[in-house]
Amino acid sequence: MDGGRISRRAVILGGLALLASGCSPTMQYGQPLLSAFSGQKGPAPRYKRKRVRYSGSESPGTIVVDTSEHYLYSVEEDGWATRYGVGVGEQGLTLKGTASVGRKAEWPSWTPTASMMRRKPRLVKYAGGVPGGLNNPLGASALYLYRGGRDTMFRIHGTNEPWTIGQNVSSGCIRMTNDDIVHLYERVPVGTSVLII
């Protein structure tokens, strides 16, 4: 570079260094994240986030998860809700009933539970935990579900496998695309009621 000019080569090398450092633009919380998974299959169109009429009796601000339909509803005023497609637990593994959001985290770390490792021995290699980031199964953020002030070990979270939305695939957690969990996360305070049916 001479005279304060920036060469094309310097820009490219700087961009590569930024990507190598893990500080890619897709990692910035609150920005569209699906581009980070380009080339991967996403969910079916019916699971795209949508504002819909809602006829349930739950109060505005409540989260309702319908595991049979693979939808999560964020209940709003005047009979409306934002509906999101979700992936849910394999047969018999999903939490049912009521809970509340006891904690929230952006780019959370993940460690498989002992029961998960017993069911799926391939997960033992992650027993030390996986740091937050694009390769983490919890995705961009997580809402930690509590009952009676105690962590249930179940989460509503993003995913690094967006094609699993609409399926029964998890160890009981509720998966959303990273863009959808970011959208929900920004609107849900700690203490929010959650009903899983």
Catalytic positions are 157, 173
Cβ contact 174:44 at 8 Å: no
Cβ contact 187:90 at 8 Å: no
- DSSP state letter for 142: E
Rounded to whole angstroms, what are the CA distances from 142 to 46, 180, 194? 23, 11, 14
Cβ contact 89:171 at 8 Å: yes
Rounded to whole angstroms, what are the CA distances from 79 to 46, 61, 65, 74, 97? 21, 12, 17, 11, 22
Going 190 to 34 to 136 to 194, the CA torsion angle's sign is: positive
- Exposure of 6 in the CB half-sphere (CA atoms within 13 A): 6
Q: Which residues contact 24 (CB under 8 A, 6 or more apart)?
A: 18, 36
CA 107 to chain centre: 9
